Amino acid sequence: MGLSTLLLYTSNLSALWAVWVGRRQRSVLWLYAFCSLFFDVLSYILKRTNIKWRSANLFLLIEFILVSLYFINQIDRKNYRMTLYAIAGAMCMYFIIHTLSGTLYKVNFTDASLLYGMYIFYSLVGLYKVITEIEFVMVERNPLFIISVAFLLYASGNFIIFLFENNVLLMNKGLKALLWLYIHNPLNILKNFMLAYAFILINKGK
């Protein structure tokens, strides 16, 4: 088994640990991990069976809703939460309209980059909350810190890939394949493993 195959299979199944560790919580974040696992496996099956429909658009929407719910609910001030809910709702509608106006056989990477840009913002908000309301001497034991760092790394790398997927990378399929293999897959693995670690910390805190 080559490195590329190992990365592919590990990435597709990397959320399994998080799903198992957080199974008793059944929180928004656990639901996100479950959807990540389900759609990674589904996407692989669709590619193997040569079915043209791309499940990624549906996952990108579900992912944005769940990630938004988690991070926005971490904000204490109600007026800030309501504002972010309105912004997130508008972004969902924008993504849906633009995706449906195109084709279901093509992933809407350009608009997905906007969603991932929002993840970067959410992560910074989460880190700010950790810094200003620190309850742990060792921040690496703070679940919100781990989750924020996980999404900051994951979103930052994929934001660049998604932003240029439909133009620059379309003309250089070799570079595109390398970025997905050696940037997207490792970041996806890291994010899911960090989520599993966060679930362990949450379980210990109960």
How do residues 115-134 score in pLDDT, each as one tens digit? 999 999 999 999 999 988 87
> Which domain, by its residues, includes 114?
3-205
Measured between alpha carbons, how far is 86 from 38 in angstroms, rounded to an integer? Answer: 28
Confidence (pLDDT) at 169: 58
Number of separate domains in the chain: 1
Lookup: tokens for 107: 């992933």
Summarize pLDDT for 29-70 with one digit per residue, the tens: 999 999 999 998 888 888 777 665 678 899 999 999 999 999
Tell me, what DSSP letter sits at residue 180? I
Measured between alpha carbons, how far is 161 from 184 in angstroms, rounded to an integer? Answer: 8
The angle, 0 to 180 degrees and rounded to 10, between the axes of the packed helices 109-132 and 78-100 is 170
pTM as predicted: 0.91
